[in-house]
Structure 1
Amino acid sequence: MRIAQVCAVVSTLLFTVVAFADVKPNQLFSDHAVLQGGMSVPVWGTADPGEKVVVSFAKQRKVTTADADGKWRVKLGKLTVGGPFVMTITGKNTVTINDVLVGEDWIGSGQSNMAFTVSAKVAAFAGMQDEDKEIAAANYPQLRIFMATTKKTYEPQSEISGEWKIATPENAPAFSAVAYLFGRDLNQALREPVGMVVVAFGASTAESWVSRPVAAGDPQIKTMLDHFDDLYSFYKTHPNATTDQAPSAPQTINARPGKPGPLRDPVQDQHQPTVLYNGMVHPIIPFAMRGVIWYQGESIVGGKAGVAIYPHVMEALVKDWRQEWGEGNFPFYCVQLPPLKNSSNNPMVREGQAHLLSLPDTGMAVTLDVGDPTNVHPKNKEPVGDRLSRIALANVYGKKIEFSGPVLAGMQIEGANIVLHFSHAAGLIGKGGPLQWFQVAGADGRYVSAMAIIRGEAVVVHSDEVVSPVSVRYAWDNYPDGANLINGAGLPAAPFRTDSQDALSAIAKDFTGK
């Protein structure tokens, strides 16, 4: 080997050793970060095995030693809102992290409608209504957003890529629109720093965000996980195989037939279980935060079987994340899918999303009035951010504001009429005119259009075609254009039906899940 080559190899090895020896925090702890106030805050990273690491922040000094794998973690005591502060992390080297604020942190996750950016110039499918106006007004120095680089992996990862960006007109175009609007509204209402960590991936299914231990221990999700493992093993041993040669997917769950052709690496398929949890969620646990906002559900690809299991998978996901974070039942607020002339956004999926409210400290932002007939990525994101922030402001921060549209609380039959009772019904009206999209059915289960009128905080539904009605449904369609039941705060009612006891019990709860 030539002398020059030897020197190059030695230089590379020395650089590798030095790089590994350097103390390095997780990327979440970098310039412009927002740390969670009012609770203990873990800080972690890597160093040389056995290396002493000192973390100094806001008059606190924590000391630890990197373990045999070169990993270290300290836990800061409860932090007081404020800043900017400087964090120093010292080992054999010193890392200085500037302009760190303490305030409220939330995580934004899900699929493309969470990844959807403020500007269409960043992502062609995205771009808010009046995006130029939104961008020009994005001057909120205490709002910072961490847009994580997307990553799918087979094994859980320790590192996340991305950087904190301050909300300015220069940075706003690349922000998640929903996360930005939610964070902006919190920042303005609370007058405190707000940080948003966005881990989202387009077209992802719920099971891709669940950890392996939970998936393996759940009989319904394990079916998908076993298929994924079989497919992964097959792909590694048959890299040139075609899709028709691969193991068949279970047809009773979220089966995705795929396109004929060369078999792709299943790890890079965001429909497979665990891959996004491994690549994007595991690396940010246990970052101290207040709660999660979630926008996902358009990628249920297993037909009726997929729709049927979706509520179960989402419940498993929420319990999984809460267990992993170890912060108890942190708030988890989802966005119910808006109308769309496509089977992906159908009333059964929306009903499945409402099932999440059976868990404590959950909430749901209804978007029945902000859909687009042909675009799965509706650009009217302002109401989405507003409705999510209302739930948080009312239920986490104690603001006396209405945060929910009318919620079905029960029904009674009065002769040929059905009377529906609602909570969150102050100022109940039909937006723009008479109530629409109500239907009734008799014992035969055949639904017909019905007239509906408001009586105080109740709705009376009637059809001359049904002499003895037994059930009602509202906005039960993929695209219920004109569904208009709202309350005095202008917040819409979610679709509902009363012919399923399970469905009624799920949606008859307050939208905080309490």
Structure 2
Amino acid sequence: MPIRIWGNADAKEIVNVTLNGISQSATTDKSGKWEIVLPALEAGGPFTVQVKGKENEILFDNVMIGDVWLCSGQSNMEFSLKGSTNARKTIRHSDNKHIRLFTVPKNIQTAARGDLPEGNWEECNPLTTPDFSAVAYYFGEALQKEVDVPVGLINSSWGGTDIETWTSWESAMANPVYMVHEGKSLEQAIGYSTRDLERYHQALRTKDKGMTERWYAADRDISDLKTCELPSAWDGELANEDGIVWFYKDVVLPQSVSGLSALLSLGSIDDRDVTFVNGIKVGGTNNCFFGRRYTLNPGVLKPGRNRITVKVIDMGVKGGFTGKPKDLFLEVGGERYSLVGKWHYKPSVLTSHYGLGNLGSGPNAFSSLLYNGMIAPLVGYNLKGVIWYQGENNTNRAYAYRNLFPLMIKDWRRQWGYDFPFIWVQLANFMAVDTQPKESEWAELREAQNMALSLPVTGQVVITDLGEAGDIHPKNKKDVGQRLAANALQVAYGRDSIASGPLYRSMELVPGKIILSFANMGKGLQAKGNKYGYLNGFAIAGDDRKFVWAKAYIEGDKVVVFNEALKRPVAVRYGWGNNPDDMNLINSAGYLASPFRTDSWSGVTQPTLYK
């Protein structure tokens, strides 16, 4: 592709750019903006780029020419390599000068920006990979081996975010929730600006009364403070707030704890914490993905009353103690003291104190806030394609996702001016396995993701075999990344290969049975792990719409589904649940069929309007 390079200089200044011996000049406009377009070049490097103006020049060394992929979404894309399965070994062997990494800083903006506040391209090596997106890394590693050109990975992701915040304000007008703001800017619609956000964030850094007034002191009187039940996300008066809130819990301990070390477990906290015991700081964590387990040195605890104080900083979305009750305890002298129950609390800095209303300051407060700060500055940078991993945050509005997902894809393509390949990860299996067939928000979201395959140059990877029932962030990111790479080779590079599983196409009713037909079978359908062709994960229903588990088997290139007790079946569902962990219908390439249903009956999210 032609190489676009742009920037800023003085008005009417002539800027010259040289890359690999090829030079091009441009004159800035009245606002100082300039842009040049160099001809397409063969992949390779390293090269030097010289940008020269009237009185100064900038040199960029170690520049590569290759394929750049934008990697975006929520927490499962943000999830760092150091937290994934076999991370130490992977990081130790991650040295590859032909892979370059760029992380877009988290940035909420109420108007589209042309620049990122900071960020650098980095070579892929054990120093740079630990905190980079695991999915993106494994994708790039597998892809680069196959295409044998330099690969650049831009990670622009933020955990716990809705798809609406990644869509431009222009396209948000196609969302019924935001249509009422037609003709207004986002700032006019939301009622505050980035400047207000900056005032609030400055307060987070410098105006926490809890620190200046020593709210962590062991003898502080907390008797008049309000109380809440923990563990819990912020609720009640804090439900729509972000900011800093201090929490207190007194624990009475026996004489035997004197001189003993201890373990304080607080479970998961969203987003950050600073923790004190009896006025002594014992720990602090800046990552919501990790549970809090702090070792208390001998002498910190004492017989009688002990004060646990936790400063919680919520940067957006939903704050608070988000872990499980079993993970909230103090352990000392072989005894475990539960910390579940009543805690006192006192807010220090809240979004409502700074004119941000009850929307909070987080990225989900309104449409387009992350598009403006984390996608808009990238527009124009030539991409080979996009990989996307998001949807968990939209499951309660899965029916709306049928429109919101393709709306965002088409929005980004329109902004860039061409239909780049767009490949996504379908939601993993999660939560408890259903003992009986039931409705499912997660299944409806997967269905919405399936529907987006109607857009051109798109791909999807199914990972309902990689999830973890008790963890929304499954650790196996290697298989996710490698499946994305295989899909990209087909969708973006034109490989004649099978890179995804069977897709349901049609059904035929016969007495007592339903016969299903599929596309994308390769050399045929198979039952993974069952040489007799028996399939798991199917449910069947009659006119009463009550689904029961079904028997299913492969017959030729079809799947036959039945239940002896059901004489007149009318509909089939496959993998329809939060955690369909036993799905085993695959094609000859070994890829799982996507969950699907043959009916179009109203689901649990269909009445929900867009949000």
Q: Which TM-score applies when normalising by structure 2?
A: 0.68
| 2:286 aligned with 1:323 | no
The offset of 1:397, in angstroms, is: 1.5
Letter of the 2:383 partner, please give it.
M
The one of 79, 95, 101 aligned to 1:116: 79
**Counterpart in 1 of 2:384?**
290
Q: Which residue of 2 aligns with 1:164?
A: 121
Indicate the residue corresponding to 1:364 in structure 2: 460
Gaps of at least 5 residues in structure 2 are 204-234, 241-316, 321-345, 433-438, 604-611
Structure 1 residues 203, 273: CA separation in 2 closer, same or farther (over 3 Å shift)?
Answer: same
Match of 2:17 among 55, 64, 67: 55
Q: Is the 8 A contact 1:339 1:345 kept in 2?
A: no
Give yes or no for contact 1:485–1:492 (8 Å, CA) kept in 2: yes
Q: Does 1:270 align with 2:367?
A: no
Considering Cα pairs closer than 8 Å and 6+ residues apart, tell me whether 1 or 2 has the greater RCO: 2
Displacement of 1:344: 9.2
The aligned amino acid for 2:59 is T
What's the % identity of the aligned pairs? 36
- Describe the superposition over 1:57-98 as per-residue Cα deviations: whole angstroms up to 9, x where unpaired: 123211112222222111111121121111100002111111
Amino acid at match of 1:466: L
Are 1:212 and 2:169 counterparts? yes
Residue aligning to 1:314: 405
Report the Cα offset of residue 56 of structure 1: 0.8
Contact 1:143 1:195 in 2 (8 A): yes
Query: Structure 1's 468 and 281: CA in aligned 2 closer, same or farther, altered over 3 A?
Result: same
Higher strand share: 2
Number of the residue aligned with 1:104: 67
What amino acid maps onto 2:367 in structure 1?
P
The answer on whether the counterparts of 1:221 and 1:313 sit within 8 Å (CA) in structure 2 is no
In structure 1, the partner of 2:479 is: 383
Counterpart amino acid of residue 27 in structure 2: T
| Equivalent of residue 350 in structure 1, options 446, 449, 471 | 446
The answer on whether the counterparts of 2:458 and 2:491 sit within 8 Å (CA) in structure 1 is no
Amino acid at match of 1:498: T
- What secondary structure does 2:126 align onto? coil
CA contact (8 A) 1:204 1:299 kept: yes
Measure, in 2, the Cα distance between the counterparts of 1:477 and 1:228. Answer: 40
C-alpha displacement at 1:308, in angstroms? 2.1
How far did residue 422 of structure 1 move? 1.5
How far 1:144 moved relative to its partner? 0.8
Q: What SS does the corresponding residue of 2:81 show, helix, strand or coil?
A: coil
Q: Secondary structure at the match of 2:415?
A: helix
The structure-2 alpha-carbon separation of the partners of 1:93 and 1:257, relative to structure 1 and needing over 3 Å to count, comes to: closer
Aligned to 2:271: none
Match of 1:500 in 2: 600
Higher Cα Rg, which structure: 2
Name the CA distance, whole Å, in 2 between partners of 1:228 and 1:308: 28
Relative distance call for 1:388 and 1:246 in structure 2 (3 A) is closer
Please give the per-residue CA displacement for 1:369-412, whole angstroms capped at 9, x wherever unaligned: 10010111111111211111111111221223220111112111
Residue from 279, 282, 286 that aligns with 2:373:
279
Which letter does structure 1 place at the counterpart of 2:96?
A: Y
| Alignment RMSD (CA, Å) | 3.0
Contact 1:416 1:466 (8 Å CA) reproduced: yes
Paired residues for 1:430-509 under 5 Å: 430-433=527-530, 434-500=534-600
Tell me how far apart the structure 2 counterparts of residues 463 and 307 of structure 1 sit (CA, whole Å).
29
Rounded to whole Å, the distance in 2 between the matches of 1:473 and 1:389 is: 29
Q: What's the CA shift for 1:268? A: 3.2
**Letter of the structure 2 residue corresponding to residue 215 of structure 1:** A
Counterpart CA distance in 1 for 2:474 and 2:95 is 25
What amino acid is the match of 1:104?
Answer: D
| Higher helix residue share | 1
Q: Is the 8 A contact 1:234 1:246 kept in 2?
A: no
Distance change in 2, residues 1:267/1:210 (3 Å): farther
Deviations 1:438-476 (A, max 9, x none): 011112211111100111222111101211111110011
Return the offset for 1:217.
5.0
Aligned residue-pair number = 446
1:424 Cα deviation (Å)? 2.3
The equivalent residue for 2:341 is none
**TM-score scaled by length of structure 1:** 0.80
